[in-house]
Amino acid sequence: MRWYEDKSAALDIEGFTALPADALAEQRSILSIGYTKSPIWLAFSLPASLFQAESRWLQLGPNFLDDVTLYYRPSAGGRAWSIHRWGDMWPDARGDIDYRFPVFELPPPSGAPGYDVVVRVRSTSAILLDGSLWAPQAFLKEAARETAFWSFYFGLAALSTALAVFMAFFLRRPLAWALCAFSLTYWLVACIQGYVDWLFGGRGLHLQHYLTGILTLLAYTSLLWVTTEALNLRERRPGLHRLMMAAIGLSLLLPLSIPLDFYDVAINIQGVLCISTALILAVGAWTIWHEEHDVMALVLGVMPILYVAAGLVALMSLFGWIPYDKHIYGIWQYVVMVNMLTVLGWAAYRIWYEAREMQEKRQLASELRLEREASFHQRQFIGMVSHEFRNPLAVITHAMENLQLPSVSEKQRRRRYQSIRRATHRLVQLTDNCLADSRLYADGLQLQIDTIDLLGVVRSAAEIVDGSADHRWRLTVQGLGVGEWTARRIPVLADAAMLRIAVSNVLDNAVKYSERGYVDIDVAFRNEFAVVGIRDRGPGIPKEDAALIFERHRRRRASPAAGHDPGGTGLGLYVARQIVQAHGGELVLVGSGPEGSYFELSVPQSGGGPVP
């Protein structure tokens, strides 16, 4: 082809064709001369042998050219020129075929040796003209292949962009916002490939034209931000972070060159920024890797260099310093993809790692809180236990001192012995609860399950009631007097010692919270369980305490009518429930009111029910 730079911008088609041959430069490869504001005219011929008496489709590109006019006519006969216009500033349809690149249908040059073709190009972007002549079937085959290629590319782009947007809006991390900004580079790729105007239409808006310029200037800026955040320079290298932020701030001003009409200068400024910051980042990443042995830091530091290298090769082809090859742009566009996916993977790993650290911190804080609560309850417990043990020990000491007096009568002696017996039972009860609680708190309760007689366990546990001078107990089985069951057994699967502690704790609770009267015990059978019901004559349990009485170290508050604090360690009902649950049963408060409280304790039966 032969071409001419119209610096006066005054030539028309007739003026160009009238230029002498020595005024035109000869070009034997794709025209690529970099940035110039002057129109470029070029001429070439299409011989008839290329057509083989069939129509051919002429595809021209790239899409970022502002205004292109195509002239063609048969080589002989001096016929009028056929004229077509296109470009990303052209408001009407581009070409004869509905495609993302302009495609023009050329009929076979009947009776002529071929076509004379002239193209006028004017653009604020780099001047590059790539053309190819196709047989229609071959064009459709190639278009289908390229569509599949770019469908895969933009599918990955959509996925990575969706992930970036998700992380940005739900996690609100600076790195996620940087990834969102970098994902806009995919729109630059879509503009270069002509998808924006093809899919959304460019009439009047010139969306593709302005996006191409803006995103070309901001693509590296977003990558610089992504790399800065991914390397965590804010904490690792504060000075380098400030330098990168200054470079990013300067880059953000470059799109002003588009309305101010010095886009070519902005491209040169961006080139200097790209090369310098990429080298500085690479050195910074290397020092981080050298000091911290963080291989990923080195990988992330190399990414801007790869981007700049691919961009420089593309830029060199734009200026004609190296032969143009469309695959160069394909490499650059996939470098964008690789950078995006690499940082996405690293961001996902960092977020997972930080989430795990946060979970560990929360768990540690929770454990520390529980430890503090346990320490607090332990101090309370020690105080309560000391008080609870002191009372029966004081009773025993006082009774034994009285027994040594020579004037003690037999009646007084029996009363002292009964006091010692009740105090001893109380000490045994307290000791059993402390030991059971220690086993529960340490490594869980280990039971020695065997078939035992429930009535025998209940009678043994009821001795806790016998220790009170003001209380008596009554035992029934399914509402019948116990006399009818004296010759029978109620076999259950349980640990006799642990079950006795559980029953005696509930009975002790009934004694402590009722001033005097009977404690009723009834054994019933329900759904293969033996159920021990215990009813006291106390004032009832306040509603606000009903949900707390089974918790560890929690005590039921005394009723104002009682006039005294019944004491206790807050372990009785807690230990009882834990023991019963370990047997596969349950301890529940069935009802409570002014007439008293009613508890039910259930354990699995053995052998299907009572036996003679």
Q: Do domains 2-134 and 445-604 have the same CATH topology?
A: no
- Between 478 and 323, name the one with better pLDDT: 478
Split at pLDDT 50, 70, 90, the class of 375 is confident
% of residues, the chain, pLDDT over 90: 25
Q: Are the CB atoms for 436 and 501 separated by under 8 Å?
A: yes
pLDDT at 138 over 50: yes
Name the CATH architecture for the domain at 2-134. Answer: Sandwich (2.60)
pLDDT digit string, tens, across residues 559-592? 544 444 555 556 778 888 888 998 899 999 998 8
Please give the structure tokens belonging to residue 291.
Answer: 């000091």
**Which own/partner pairs from 294-301 qualify as long-range (CB within 8 Å, at least 24 positions apart)?**
296/346, 297/231, 299/342, 300/227, 300/230, 300/231, 300/342, 300/343, 300/346, 301/227, 301/231
Distances 524 to 59, 164, 476, 533 between C-alpha atoms, Å: 95, 65, 9, 8
Q: What is the dihedral of CA 423, 428, 434, 440, to 10 degrees?
A: -150
Please give the structure tokens belonging to residue 178.
Answer: 């940087």
Cα–Cα distance between 528 and 526 in angstroms, integer? 6
Q: Please give the single-letter amino acid code of residue 152.
A: F
Q: How far apart are the first and last CA of the chain?
A: 118
The confidence score (pLDDT) of residue 295 equals: 84
- Residue 534's H or E segment, with its range, is strand 529-535
The mean pLDDT of 523-537, rounded to a whole number, is 91
Cα–Cα distance between 509 and 595 in angstroms, integer? 15
Which of 323-332, 333-342, 383-392 comes out lowest in average pLDDT?
383-392
pLDDT digit string, tens, across residues 223-274? 888 888 888 888 889 999 999 999 999 999 999 988 888 888 888 898 888 8
The confidence score (pLDDT) of residue 23 equals: 93
Q: HSE-up of 566 (CA within 13 Å, CB side)?
A: 22
- Between 272 and 397, name the one with better pLDDT: 272
Sequence-ordered alpha helix ranges (H) in 404-462: 410-443, 454-461
CATH of domain 150-348: 1.20.1070
Q: Are the CB atoms for 30 and 324 separated by under 8 Å?
A: yes
pLDDT at 406 over 90: no
Distances 79 to 6, 18, 46, 57, 72 between C-alpha atoms, Å: 25, 16, 16, 21, 10
Residue (of 497, 511, 366) closest to 439 by Cα position: 497
The confidence score (pLDDT) of residue 31 equals: 86
Complete DSSP assignment for 380-400: HHHHHHHHHHHHHHHHHHHHH
pLDDT at 380 over 70: no
The confidence score (pLDDT) of residue 484 equals: 54
* CB contact set of 21 (below 8 Å; sequence gap of 6+): 2
% of residues, the chain, pLDDT over 70: 88
Cα–Cα distance between 149 and 134 in angstroms, integer? 20
Cα–Cα distance between 318 and 324 in angstroms, integer? 7
The confidence score (pLDDT) of residue 570 equals: 65
In the DSSP assignment, the letter for residue 538 is S
**What string of H, E and C letters represents the secondary structure of 308-364?**
HHHHHHHHHHHCCCCCCCHHHHHHHHHHHHHHHHHHHHHHHHHHHHHHHHHHHHHHH
pLDDT at 219 over 90: no
Cα–Cα distance between 407 and 418 in angstroms, integer? 18
For residue 386, the Cα-to-chain-centroid distance in whole angstroms is: 51
The confidence score (pLDDT) of residue 563 equals: 46
pLDDT digit string, tens, across residues 36-89? 889 999 999 999 999 988 999 999 988 888 899 999 999 977 788 999 999 888
- Between 218 and 554, name the one with better pLDDT: 218
Q: At what angle do helices 185-192 and 326-403 cross, to 10 degrees?
A: 160
SS3 label, residue 537: coil
Distances 282 to 124, 227, 334, 501 between C-alpha atoms, Å: 33, 10, 21, 72
Please give the structure tokens belonging to residue 102.
Answer: 């302009």
Distances 425 to 87, 396, 462 between C-alpha atoms, Å: 103, 11, 11
Residue (of 23, 1, 17) closest to 130 by Cα position: 1
pLDDT at 398 over 50: yes
Q: Are the CB atoms for 206 and 89 separated by under 8 Å?
A: yes
Map out the domains of the chain as residue ranges. 2-134, 150-348, 445-604
- Between 99 and 380, name the one with better pLDDT: 99
Cα–Cα distance between 587 and 600 in angstroms, integer? 6
Cα–Cα distance between 331 and 338 in angstroms, integer? 10
pLDDT at 481 over 80: no
* CB contact set of 457 (below 8 Å; sequence gap of 6+): 494, 496, 499, 500, 503
- Residue 246's H or E segment, with its range, is helix 238-253
Work out the burial of residue 485: count CB atoms within 10 Å of its CB; fewer than 13 is exposed, 13-18 middle, 19 or more buried: middle
pLDDT digit string, tens, across residues 189-201? 888 888 888 888 7
The confidence score (pLDDT) of residue 139 equals: 95
The values of phi and psi at residue 532, to 5°, are -100, 115
The confidence score (pLDDT) of residue 176 equals: 82
Q: What's the pTM value of the predicted model, to 2 decimals? A: 0.58
The confidence score (pLDDT) of residue 2 equals: 94
The confidence score (pLDDT) of residue 562 equals: 46
Split at pLDDT 50, 70, 90, the class of 102 is very high
Please give the structure tokens belonging to residue 593.
Answer: 């009111």
CATH of domain 445-604: 3.30.565.10
Cα–Cα distance between 482 and 488 in angstroms, integer? 10
In the DSSP assignment, the letter for residue 472 is E
